[in-house]
């Protein structure tokens, strides 16, 4: 059996009882380590699970899945995924490859950012499509996310923006020279995301979200040091010190926002007077 085991969002204790039982008895245990991270090191997981773990980077999962699936027709293999296996990130290719090899599959779900973001006070029923924001480069500024955000905005729904992480990435120079030298990990912050959002809006000029649009920055959601900060996009450009270390996410408020959401998120406001004034102008005078 191939087990896809969700680990939750925070630390080694977030795994479910069922998931932990599977990890303890599996012949091999892999940890998917390129789409997200837990807030603890691999060694902490190994000590808690009582098992050694093989870190599965992007190259292994996408190009060497045969190693992960080796022998899974006759023994149990556990593939660990931060959050939920089919939450913000899916592993469809791995599952399809397992099916081709007649390997049975079971999924052990867990909390993901898609559900835990409700801790910011916005109602999950009022969220539209989730989008991802990548780091901009001088010559590469992809803006495909903008149309999805615009669609959400048009029907009044909130947008969860997942922020880029760069783990085990190579520079273009080292890649061209065939050197297996990797850059230090980088994690996009709410401030960077808000700034890039405003830059795209400046280019597009379609009025989807501007400096005075309300949003909520989220950090380490589901963890013991979970933090939310609410304000305008302009305010959130400078809110990284308030949010602290990664991982960060951003929520753009939709026009359907309810007064209960307003009151709940107000507790996280950088400046409650600005929050109240902006809300009144944007949501109560329509």
Q: Report domain 114-283's class.
A: alpha beta
Alpha carbons 8 and 206: distance in angstroms, whole number: 37
- Please give the annotated binding residues, written as ranges: 9, 84, 87, 112-113, 163, 221, 248
**Contact call for residues 205 and 255 (beta carbons, < 8 A):** no
Q: Exposure string (b/e) for 67-105, b if CB count within 10 Å is 16 or more?
A: ebbeebeeebbbbbbbbbbbbbbebeebbebbeeeebee
Alpha carbons 153 and 145: distance in angstroms, whole number: 12
Torsion of CA 276, 281, 283, 286, to 10 degrees: 160
**Contact call for residues 89 and 83 (beta carbons, < 8 A):** yes
Q: Exposure string (b/e) for 187-212, b if CB count within 10 Å is 16 or more?
A: bbbbbbbbbbbbebbeeeeeebbeee
| Mean pLDDT confidence for 186-214 | 95
- Please give the annotated binding residues for S-adenosyl-L-methionine, written as ranges: 9, 84, 87, 112-113, 163, 221, 248
| CA neighbor of 249 nearest in space, from 211, 197, 193, 166 | 193
Q: What percent of the chain has pLDDT over 70?
A: 93
- Assigned CATH topology for domain 2-111: Cobalt-precorrin-4 Transmethylase; domain 1 (3.40.1010)
Tens digit of pLDDT for each residue in 6-59? Answer: 999 989 999 999 999 999 999 999 998 777 778 888 899 999 999 999 988 777
Alpha carbons 241 and 97: distance in angstroms, whole number: 43
Domain ranges of the chain: 2-111, 114-283
| Mean pLDDT confidence for 124-129 | 96
């Amino acid at each position: 059996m191939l087990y896809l085991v969700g680990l939750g969002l925070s630390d080694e204790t977030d795994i479910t009882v069922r998931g932990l039982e599977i990890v303890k008895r599996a012949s091999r245990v892999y940890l998917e380590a390129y789409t997200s991270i837990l807030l603890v090191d691999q060694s902490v997981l190994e000590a808690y699970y009582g098992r050694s773990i093989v870190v599965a980077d992007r190259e292994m999962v996408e190009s060497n899945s045969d190693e992960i699936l080796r022998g899974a027709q006759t023994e149990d293999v556990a593939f660990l995924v931060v959050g939920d296996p089919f939450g913000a990130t899916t592993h469809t290719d791995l599952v399809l490859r397992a099916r081709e090899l007649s390997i049975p599959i079971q999924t052990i779900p867990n909390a993901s950012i898609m559900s835990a973001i409700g801790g910011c006070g916005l109602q999950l029923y009022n969220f539209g499509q989730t989008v991802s924001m990548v780091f901009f480069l001088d010559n590469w500024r992809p803006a495909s996310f903008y149309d999805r955000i615009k669609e959400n905005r048009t029907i009044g729904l909130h947008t969860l923006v997942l922020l880029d992480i760069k783990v085990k990435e190579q520079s273009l120079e080292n890649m061209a020279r065939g050197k297996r030298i990797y850059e230090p990990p980088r994690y996009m912050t709410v401030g960077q995301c808000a700034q890039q959002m405003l830059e795209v809006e400046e280019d597009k000029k379609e009025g989807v979200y501007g400096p005075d649009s309300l949003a909520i920055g989220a950090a380490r959601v589901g963890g013991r040091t979970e933090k939310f900060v609410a304000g305008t996009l302009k305010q959130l450009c400078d809110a990284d010190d308030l949010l602290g270390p990664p991982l960060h996410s951003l929520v753009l408020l939709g026009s359907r926002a309810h007064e209960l959401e307003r009151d709940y998120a107000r507790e996280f406001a950088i400046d409650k007077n600005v929050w109240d004034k902006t809300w009144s102008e944007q949501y109560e005078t329509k």
